[in-house]
Amino acid sequence: MDWKEVIQSVESSRKLLEALWNLDGEAVAKGIDQAHREISVLQYNDENSLSCTINLAFYFAREYYTVIRELPTGKGFADICFIPRKLYADKPAAVIELKWDKDAHGAISQIKEKQYVDALKDYHGNLLLAGINYDKKIKQHTCVIERYHKQ
pLDDT tens-digit series, residues 51-108: 788 888 888 999 999 998 887 676 777 889 999 998 998 999 999 999 988 999 999 9
Residue 42 has pLDDT above 60, yes or no: no
At 62 the pLDDT is: 92
What is the structure's pLDDT at 22?
A: 97
CA distance 123 to 126: 9
pLDDT, position 52: 80
Q: Which is higher by pLDDT, 119 or 15? A: 15
- Inter-residue contact 5 to 35 (CB < 8 Å): no
pLDDT per residue over 96-132, tens digit each?
999 988 999 999 998 998 888 888 877 777 899 999 9
Q: For residues 125 and 92, is the Cβ–Cβ distance under 8 A?
A: yes
**How many angstroms separate the CA atoms of 17 and 56, rounded?**
12
- Can you give the pLDDT at residue 120? 80
Is residue 5's pLDDT more than 80? Answer: no
The C-alpha angle 115, 64, 100, rounded to 5 degrees, equals 45
Give the span between the Cα atoms of 75 and 136, in whole angstroms: 28
Statement: residue 41 has pLDDT above 70: no
Q: Is the pLDDT of residue 147 over 70?
A: yes
Structure confidence at residue 23 (pLDDT): 97
pLDDT of residue 30: 94
Q: Which position has the higher pLDDT, 28 or 124?
A: 28
Beta-bridged to residue 4, according to DSSP, are none
